[in-house]
Homo-oligomer: A and B are copies of this chain.
Amino acid sequence: MTQDPAAATATATAATTKQRLLAAAREEFAAHGIAGARVDRIAELAGVNKERIYGYFGSKQKLFDQVVSQALDELAEAVPLRPGDDPAEYVGRVYDFHRANPVLVRLSLWEGLHYRDEALPDEERRATHYERKVAALAETFGTEVSPEVASCLLGLIALAAWPSAVPQMSRLILGAGPRPDLRAHLVEFARRAVADSLPAGGGAGTGAEA
């Protein structure tokens, strides 16, 4: 049978091949999008025959979906948002992640552009994921979950991700010169925006003076 533990070695090499393909696909898709990505390039970069893509994933599109799903899991694990976390610091962490690893933003944008308004592949799992984040933020605020809190989360993510999403615009607005401390400014921007929502006397020391 396929799932026999006996098939360990064979399955192992298959698994690594699959991983190599996923890694290569991530680069290619992040760089060129779904339409622009070339299956042959992915195979070549992975050092694997192109046919394996269809054997393992079925189609270019399904490969893309798996790539995004995997990348999204990594983001969720790398930048958690727990009850009590300072929302402004969360913006900083997300900003750092995207700055260090722009691949994920690019994948998300390609995906959003591609799927427009239709449902995404694993819509449900993502929905619960965001639900949990909204709940955590609400708990931080000491309020119930509400559209306000959800909008607030969206705003925080917007601040953190936008510079990586449109690097051209960021560069043009900030000026090409020596990069000023954008991160700090965004964190402060967020801190002021949520200040009123936080329970009194939050731990945030820096801030309000211009």
Contact = CB atoms under 8 A, between A and B. Distances in A.
Interface of A: 31-36, 106, 108-113, 115-117, 120, 123, 126-127, 130, 133-134, 143, 147-148, 150-155, 157-159, 161-163, 165-175, 180-182, 185-186, 189-190, 192-197, 208, 210
B192 A196 contact: yes
Nearest to A118: B168
A189 B155 CA distance: 8
Contacts of A180: 147, 150-151
A168 B120 contact: yes
A170 B189 contact: no
A106 B112 CA distance: 10
11 contacts: A112-B165, A126-B172, A152-B185, A153-B173, A154-B173, A155-B159, A155-B162, A162-B165, A190-B193, A192-B194, A196-B210
Nearest to A108: B166
A113 B109 contact: yes
Nearest to A147: B180
B33 A113 contact: yes
A98 to B, nearest CB: 12
A163 B197 CA distance: 22
B182 A151 contact: yes
Given A110-B113, A147-B181, A185-B152, A159 B159 contact: yes
Contacts of A134: 173
